[in-house]
Structure 1
Amino acid sequence: MKRLLGGLLALPLGALAAEPVISAAATAAPVVSAGVGGQLMQLVMGLLLVLGLIFALAWLLRRVQNTGSRQGQVIELISSRALGARDRLVLVQVGDEQILLGLTPGRITPLHVLKEPVHVPDAAQKATPEFAKRLMEVLGQQKDKP
């Protein structure tokens, strides 16, 4: 693994070392800087392309997973609340029962089975967080501008 990583890191340096040697009589500064600058630009553009591809695929995967049919699901997540960096409370519905679960990195603990189900209004389920609303407003305003 270390050899592979070292080989990948040495690739750009090997490309720089492969620059053609120009005679001492010719002025080498513009040619070498243009070659190195061009290679650096190519490296940066390739990196941006790969990062863009990763983000696009992650977005597409999230969209595809969310469009799956929810009918036939027996277990449904009603609500979730973070208690700390790694601890959560989760309210799930299984059939007609609602169960409050405590989630920690090492275990899932049922805390309480609710006798009377908690009814969550539809508007609260589909509410978008404030940051997402603001972001959509800003993106909408930028689309209007030429």
Structure 2
Amino acid sequence: MHKLLSVLLALPLLALADEPAAKAVTPLAGSDIGGQLVQLLLGLLLVVGLIFALAWVLRRLQQVGPRSGQVIKLVASQALGPRDRLLLVQVGSEQILLGISAGRIAPLHVLKEPVALNTSETATPEFAQRLMELLGKDQKDNT
């Protein structure tokens, strides 16, 4: 990966090395400043695009792996406030209720019997339900 990056960064230098020496000696005063700015911006966009492309590739490579072998799973989450929440985490066959606050994570309870969630039922969050009600009322008022 490092070799590929060094080759891509060396390409502009190789292109400059192939130009004749007469072009390199010509003064810049006679050249068009607008063309130079366009060339500079295109080069900058190319480098920024390359950085984003490499970041995307690295993210994809990190995600590739056995997902089914995860031992820790998040079963449920409930916000208690802007910075506090409860998490129900399953580790193996054991479920643990965790309290998360701004500066710490505390185990609150270890459940003896795992909580079975009904995954076939799609629960809509309270906010989404309220928003749909408000949108429905607004649409009725406009007609």
Band the TM-score falls in, shorter-chain normalisation: 0.3 to 0.5
- Answer with 1 or 2: which has the greater Rg: 2
TM normalised by structure 1 equals: 0.47
TM normalised by structure 2 equals: 0.47
